[in-house]
Structures are given as C-alpha cells and as structure tokens.
Chains A and B, each alone.
Chain A
C-alpha cells in the first residue's frame, strides 16, 4: 500500500536550489534510502516531508492526505516521525522524559485535566511511562532512564533519538544519517534494529546515509540525489551499476562499489 507520495517538490534558499523537482513513493513497511554527495539536498528533503521547512513547489501526500502545508506537529500526529543528522535532544529533560515528549500529540487530555490530576490523566501518564520504558528497553537504554542526555556517549545519544522517534508508534520513520559517528559494531547493531523496526513493528523507513554497506544491505529501493535533483533510483544492484551515480560519486567510487 502506498504510504507517502512526494510529487516534484522544490526548495531554494536564496540562490541555492537545495531540492529540485524531487519525487518518490514509499510503500508500507519497506526500507528505502536517499543517498547522494554532501549538499545534495537529502536533509532538506526530510525537512520538507516532515514540515519543518516549507515546500516552495510540489506536493507531499501521506496516506492520501495532502500534508504539503501542514505544520510539523500535525504531520507527526498522522504518523511521520524522524531523527536529526545533528542530534537534537532536549538536554533539560531526562532520557526517559525525552522519549515521553514525542507522545504529546496523542495526550488525549488537556491542561485542566492535568491541573486537577484527573484519573484519566493518571491512567494516561502510567501508560506513557510504561511505553517509554519499553521503548528504552528496546534500544538497550533502560539503565540510563534517569540520566541527562548530555551524559550519554555519542552512540547512545543517536539511539535515544531513535527511541524518541519510535515512541509515537509512527507509520513512517525518517532516519537522517543514523550511522554517522558510530563504530563498526554499533553499525551492525543499528542494522539489526532497523530490520526489527520494519519486520516486528511494521514501520516503513527512509534512511539518508553515507554508509554504503548499511544502505546496500537494508534497502529495497535507493534514490540517488545530486545538486537537489534525483539522478537515479532502483534496487541496490541497479544503482551500483548506474553511470550517473558513479559520476556523482567520482572520487569515492570504491565506497559505492
């Protein structure tokens, strides 16, 4: 089933055309990738889909609904969750509270319920607590629940971002360079985790990543961007053999092969 449809979206910053007429379709519970050299427009594409930046031209639809001009919190509430290339955790909150926060759109009670601490609030808080703890356990972070994110190692912080993104039980997960800064064994763990997310949680995943082994092993379809445009798309095998891709990656060819 079609989950996300990106229809010829564009975005420029001043003179820089960061994304130019980019299109893609993402189905249920599949893992795909967007790859491309630095500055190709991958992060901007994620920002446009998640509503963090506004689309200049083109359309984005999610589950048939037009989300092109929707504010980010509503897009998230529909089931699109994401992580950030440059980790963006809430340092004033504990590890556990960082995870709890992303359930905001489904809180189901308002401020006044909360002030009166109604039974509904207490039930909901208990449920959020349990799910947040389970999410931390899933990523092996339960030991750090009470710590501050800044006290965690870089690899653990990346995992915490993933836990936070999974908390709202999204339908689509956007991972912006999840392997950046991780060592080889951490990357292997990450690959297992992403596979579990797809197979057990039935979540569809789009990965932006420079780490080619991860991309080639996990993804059914790869979209290749260069200077804001999509220059190729296909299975790992097809993309690897594409002349335009090789040209774009000139210099780090061995990385692709």
Chain B
C-alpha cells in the first residue's frame, strides 16, 4: 500500500511539472530545455530553507515560488525577445548554469553529495490537492482570452502581433506562470523525497516533459496529463523495466509524429458534459433492458 501511495505521489508531482510545461510548450509553442532548473530552484529553496536556515516549511514553499518567479524574470525578460530557437538554447544553458552553481556552492548546498534531511511534509493529500488545483487552473486558462492568445502566438506570431497582441509581454506572462508552477512543484518534490541533488532534473528530463506533451497532444490538457500519468507511474511500478519506459516512449513518439501529428488525444478534452452525456447514454440502455 505504502509503495503505491509513493508511486502516486511521484506521478502526481511529475504531472504538475508536465502541466507547467503544457502552458509554455503546448499552448504557446515555446520550448525550454531549462525548465528543470525552475524545479531544481524550487526544490533547493525549500531544501536549504528548512535544513540550513530552519525556516517554517510552508513559508519555504511560498519562498520557492517567489525565487522561481524572480529567476523567471531574470531569464525570461531578455530571452523572450529572441527567436524561438535562441530561446531554446538560452534556457538550456540556464539549466546547466543552475546545476553548475549548485555544485560550485557545495559548502552550502552539499554539492554533488546532495542535500539530505529535508522534512517529509508533502504527503498525498497536499500533492493531490495541488495537482487538482493546478489542473483546473491550466484547463480553464485554455478556454479564456489568455489561452486563445497563447494559441495565436504559437500558430502565427506575426499575425498575432498585427491583430493587436503584445506578443513579447504575453510570452513573459506565460513563462512566469509556468516557472511559478514548476518551482512550487519542485518545492513539494523536495518535501516528498527529503533528499535532493543537483542532477535532480537535468535538461533530458526537461526535454521529456515536452515530449510527453507532444505525445498526448498539444491541444489537449487531458492528453498531456494522461501520458504523464502513464509514463511516470509505469517507471515507478516496474522499476526493473525502468529503461523500457524510455524505449516505449521513444517508439510512441515516432509513431505519433508519423501517424498522428496532432497527438494521441488531438484536441479532445475530458469534461463534465462529456461524462454526463456518457451516463445519459448508459441509462436508457439499462431501462430498456
């Protein structure tokens, strides 16, 4: 039982990361290979705050969001003006820089040895509620003017500008939101794992978040979440087959890109109306029988 709880906790934490990247890459078409840096920043803010400075746990979680937002501003303001491919390169370097910085400040952070002894404070209820709140938030965002604007920027930046969209500023907003959620999730991750190290979330892991979104479908939050849950719980449950999940993901990526470029779920979203229509379909069948 405890094992499955742990699997669920990890899976949900990673779902939070996927949701944070969904806004950035799925909706807005911006690819960041340094997104793991925000997760790492959040984790280390909480880790250092609780172990080295003895700050209250939930104050540290709030602090992790603030630090994440600040890092997002510093890295986002100059780079979001650049072309998308340069943005990708700069965020990649940012991620590597954060990692190097943690190794370099070993006296404080524990360097490559990692940071242990973080209180175990993020249990299933906290993680579950956080995931649901963030999921509802991201799913709603997609339906608003804010989400429409993201999609317009993704599809045609120049046309979006000519239609009155302040593209740069909108990208900054999306990037900050995404960074804040990732840092928050990183903070929870530290409080769940109790041990963190600089390689916690390297650029490969960041790239996987984007891949998962593409497999699920960039127009479907449901698809991204479904793929995330499948991928991360598979790896946890079948530890012995850990490497196989990357093989399966790899094959799936190729199949999806070749045969179904809109992703597994296309633009389909799980919604309350869909669920209730399902029930309506079932009920007459019952009464008829």
Residues of A in contact with B (beta carbons under 8 Å apart): 50-52, 71-73, 76-77, 82, 84, 88-93, 97, 100-107, 111, 114-115, 117, 121, 125, 128, 164, 168
Contact = CB atoms under 8 A, between A and B. Distances in A.
A101 B173 contact: no
Interface of B: 137, 140-141, 144-146, 148-149, 151-152, 154-156, 158-167, 173, 219
A125 B145 contact: yes
A114 B145 contact: yes
Contacts of B146: 111, 114
Nearest to B145: A107
- The winner among B148, B154, B166 for most chain A CB atoms within 10 A is B148
A92 B155 contact: yes
Most buried by A among B149, B154, B156, B163: B163
A82 B158 CA distance: 12
B164 A93 contact: no
B137 A115 contact: yes
A164 B155 CA distance: 15
A52 B158 contact: yes
A15 to B, nearest CB: 24
Contacts of A89: 156, 159
B131 to A, nearest CB: 18
Given A52-B162, A77-B164, A104-B164, 18 more contacts: A51-B161, A72-B161, A73-B161, A73-B165, A84-B162, A88-B158, A90-B152, A90-B156, A90-B160, A93-B152, A102-B164, A104-B145, A104-B165, A111-B146, A114-B145, A115-B137, A115-B141, A168-B164
A101 B152 contact: yes
B151 A72 contact: no
A84 B145 contact: no
Most buried by A among B141, B156, B162, B173: B162
A128 B167 CA distance: 20
Nearest to A168: B164
Contacts of A104: 145, 149, 163-166
Nearest to B174: A111
A83 to B, nearest CB: 9
Contacts of B158: 52, 88
Contact of B162 (A72, A91, A107): A72
B148 A93 contact: yes
A104 B162 CA distance: 11
A105 B164 contact: yes
Nearest to B155: A90
A46 B269 CA distance: 40
A128 B148 CA distance: 13
5 contacts: A76-B163, A77-B164, A84-B162, A90-B159, A93-B152
Contacts of B144: 114, 121, 125
B134 to A, nearest CB: 12
A197 to B, nearest CB: 18
Among A50, A72, A168, residue most surrounded by chain B Cβ atoms (within 10 Å): A72
B258 to A, nearest CB: 20
A92 B151 contact: yes
Nearest to B170: A104
Contacts of B154: 92
A107 to B, nearest CB: 6
A76 B166 CA distance: 10
A71 to B, nearest CB: 7
A103 B141 CA distance: 18
Contacts of B162: 50, 52, 72, 76, 82, 84
A240 B221 CA distance: 58
A71 B161 contact: yes
Contacts of A50: 162
Contacts of B167: 73
A251 to B, nearest CB: 33
Which of A76, A89, A104, A125 counts the most chain B CB atoms within 10 A? A104
A136 B161 CA distance: 21
Contacts of B165: 73, 101, 104-105
Contacts of B148: 93, 97, 100-101
